[in-house]
C-alpha cells in the first residue's frame, strides 16, 4: 500500500507545474496525485482526490488562487501552501490567503531550480505538522477609529509567530485595547517583500495603528510595529528600535529571540511576551530572560495553534505565566499592559501627551 502523502499541484504555468511536481516527487514522503491549470479545476480536483496538501498558485486567469482557496476551504478543506510571485499584488493576495486558512507560501523567482527547491522542501514537512485548518469566511471590516499616538511607551509587548501567524495576529491584535499604554512589536517569520502587505492587512483590523518597522523607530504608546522580513528588529534604548542585519537565528530572520534579548535590557519587568503558533523554538531563550527580569509570558494553547511548536517549547520549559486560546490572548495582554501606567483607562481612553 502506498502511504505517501498525496499532493495536488495547481499552477497556470506548465513550467512551474513541472518544476513543483518534480521537486515533490523527488522526496520519499510525498507524491503528486493530480495537477490543475486554473482555480476551477483546482476546486474540482480537490473534491475528487481529497489530497493531503495542495500547492496553489496565487495569480491565475479566471478563478484566481484566493477564490479557489475560499471554495476549497469551504467544501474540501485541506492543508494549502500558496505559490506567490514577488510583486506587490502577489504579496497582498498571499497575505489575504494566509488569513483565510492557507498555512504558508513559497515564492516564484527567476530561478525556478535550486531556490524554489530549497523553499519547497523546507515548507512541505512544516505544513504537514499542522492540522487541517477550518473554514474562515472573509468578513469585511471598517478601519477602526483611533486616538492620536501617545508619548514614549513605558512598557513593551513583543509578539512572536511563525506558521499560522497571520491569522493568529489578526485575532490577537484585533482584541487589543485602543488605550494600551505600551508599544507593541510583532515578529512574524516571513521573507522580504511580504511584511508591508501584512502590516497593511493588520492595520485594517487592529484598533491601534500598525506599520512595518523602518530603519529607526520611536516606540510610542498605542502603536504596533511589524518587523520587516529578512532583518532583525532590536530595541536600541527605551523608546527606540531599529532594523538591523545579522545572522539568522534558528534559521530565521527576523527572530523573536533576537528582539527579546535586546528588549529585556531596556524594559526588564515592563516587558510582556506573547508566543503564538509556529514551528520550532524561537522565543524560548528570550522568554527565559524575560521571566528572569520579572516580565511576563503568554503562550497560545495547543488546541488553537496551527503548529504547536513555539508555544509548546515555551510552555514545556515552564516559562508561560498564562496558556490561553487565541481568542483570549489580546485581552489578556491588554490587561497586563494596562499596569504600565500612563493615562490609561480600560475600555479605550487613549494615552495622551501631557
CATH of the domain at 266: 3.40.50.180
Give residue 44's domain range.
Answer: 5-128
User: Does 180 lie in the same domain as 92?
Assistant: no
Residue 86 per-residue DSSP state: S
User: Does 117 lie in the same domain as 160?
Assistant: no
Q: Is residue 84 part of a domain?
A: yes
DSSP sequence for 136-168 = ------PPPP-PPP-SB-SSEEEEEE-TTHHHH
Distances (CA, A) of 303 to 29, 107, 118, 130: 26, 30, 30, 11
Q: Is residue 141 part of a domain?
A: no
Tell me what pLDDT residue 134 has.
67
Tell me what pLDDT residue 242 has.
94
**pLDDT tens string 130-182:** 888 765 555 555 555 555 567 888 899 999 999 999 999 999 999 999 989 99
User: Does 56 lie in the same domain as 182?
Assistant: no
Q: Is residue 58 part of a domain?
A: yes
User: Does 299 lie in the same domain as 187?
Assistant: yes
User: Does 160 lie in the same domain as 124?
Assistant: no
User: Does 167 lie in the same domain as 66?
Assistant: no
Tell me what pLDDT residue 349 has.
36
Closest CA to 158 of 247, 78, 261: 261
Tell me what pLDDT residue 336 has.
96
Cα–Cα dist 105/55, whole Å: 9
Closest CA to 232 of 269, 210, 268, 261: 261
Task: Give the list of residues 6+ apart from residue 316 with CB closer than 8 angstroms, or none.
Answer: none
Q: Is residue 139 part of a domain?
A: no
State the CATH number of the domain containing residue 78. 3.40.50.2300
Closest CA to 337 of 182, 223, 207, 218: 182
Tell me what pLDDT residue 86 has.
65
For residue 122, is pLDDT > 80?
A: yes
For residue 106, is pLDDT > 60?
A: yes
Q: Is residue 142 part of a domain?
A: no
Last residue of a domain, one of 112, 128, 144: 128
CB 280 within 8 A of CB 306: no
The number of distinct structural domains making up the chain is 2
**pLDDT tens string 11-24:** 999 999 999 999 99
Q: Is residue 216 part of a domain?
A: yes
User: Does 187 lie in the same domain as 302?
Assistant: yes
**pLDDT tens string 197-253:** 999 999 998 999 999 999 999 999 999 999 999 999 999 999 899 999 999 999 999
Q: Is residue 143 part of a domain?
A: no
Torsion 186-188-192-196 (CA) sign: negative
Task: Give the list of residues 6+ apart from residue 257 with CB closer than 8 angstroms, or none.
Answer: 249, 250, 282, 283, 284, 285, 286
Number of helices (H), then strands (E), in the chain: 11, 15
Mean pLDDT score, 275-297: 97
C-alpha grid cell, residue 334? 491588554
Task: Please list the active-site residues.
Answer: 162, 189, 282
DSSP-derived 3-state class of residue 324? strand
Last residue of a domain, one of 111, 128, 145: 128
Cα–Cα dist 275/256, whole Å: 9
**pLDDT tens string 34-44:** 999 999 999 99
Phi, psi of 240 (to 5 degrees): -140, 145
User: Does 258 lie in the same domain as 118?
Assistant: no
User: Does 160 lie in the same domain as 265?
Assistant: yes
C-alpha grid cell, residue 280? 520550532
**pLDDT, mean over the chain:** 89
User: Does 162 lie in the same domain as 119?
Assistant: no
CB 56 within 8 A of CB 93: no
Q: Is residue 292 part of a domain?
A: yes
Mean pLDDT score, 257-262: 98
User: Does 260 lie in the same domain as 122?
Assistant: no
User: Does 74 lie in the same domain as 32?
Assistant: yes
Q: Supply the pTM of this predicted model.
A: 0.88
Tracing cell 469566511 back to the chain, one arrives at 137
Amino acid at each position: 500500500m502506498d502511504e505517501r502523502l498525496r499532493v495536488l499541484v495547481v499552477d497556470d504555468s506548465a513550467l512551474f507545474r513541472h518544476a513543483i511536481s518534480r521537486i515533490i516527487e523527488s522526496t520519499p514522503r510525498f507524491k503528486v496525485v493530480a495537477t490543475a491549470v486554473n482555480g476551477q479545476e483546482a476546486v474540482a480536483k480537490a473534491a475528487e482526490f481529497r489530497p493531503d496538501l495542495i500547492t496553489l498558485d496565487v495569480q491565475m486567469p479566471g478563478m484566481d488562487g484566493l477564490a479557489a482557496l475560499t471554495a476549497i476551504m469551504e467544501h474540501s478543506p485541506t492543508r494549502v501552501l500558496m505559490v506567490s510571485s514577488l510583486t506587490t499584488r502577489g504579496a497582498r493576495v498571499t497575505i489575504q490567503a494566509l488569513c483565510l486558512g492557507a498555512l504558508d507560501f513559497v515564492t516564484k523567482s527567476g530561478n525556478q531550480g535550486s531556490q524554489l527547491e530549497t523553499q519547497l522542501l523546507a515548507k512541505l514537512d512544516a505544513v504537514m505538522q499542522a492540522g487541517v485548518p477550518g473554514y474562515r469566511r472573509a468578513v469585511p471590516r471598517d478601519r477602526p477609529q483611533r486616538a492620536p499616538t501617545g508619548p514614549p511607551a513605558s512598557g513593551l509587548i513583543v509578539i512572536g509567530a511563525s506558521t499560522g501567524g497571520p491569522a493568529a495576529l489578526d485575532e490577537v491584535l484585533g482584541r487589543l485595547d485602543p488605550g494600551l499604554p505600551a508599544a507593541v512589536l510583532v515578529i512574524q517569520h516571513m521573507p522580504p517583500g511580504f511584511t508591508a502587505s501584512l502590516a497593511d492587512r493588520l492595520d485594517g483590523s487592529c484598533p491601534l495603528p500598525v506599520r512595518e518597522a523602518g530603519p529607526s523607530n520611536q516606540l510610542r504608546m498605542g502603536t504596533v510595529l511589524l518587523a520587516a522580513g529578512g532583518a532583525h528588529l532590536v530595541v536600541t534604548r527605551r523608546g527606540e528600535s531599529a532594523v538591523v542585519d545579522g545572522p539568522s537565528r534558528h534559521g530565521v530572520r527576523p527572530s523573536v529571540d533576537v528582539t527579546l534579548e535586546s528588549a529585556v535590557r531596556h524594559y526588564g519587568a515592563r516587558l510582556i511576551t506573547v508566543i503564538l503558533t509556529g514551528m520550532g523554538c524561537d522565543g524560548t531563550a528570550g522568554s527565559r530572560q524575560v521571566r528572569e527580569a520579572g516580565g511576563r509570558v503568554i503562550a497560545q494553547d495547543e488546541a488553537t495553534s496551527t503548529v504547536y511548536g513555539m508555544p509548546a517549547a515555551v510552555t514545556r520549559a515552564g516559562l508561560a505565566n498564562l496558556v490561553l486560546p487565541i481568542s483570549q490572548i489580546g485581552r489578556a495582554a491588554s490587561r497586563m499592559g494596562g499596569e504600565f501606567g500612563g493615562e490609561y483607562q480600560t475600555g479605550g481612553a487613549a494615552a495622551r501627551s501631557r
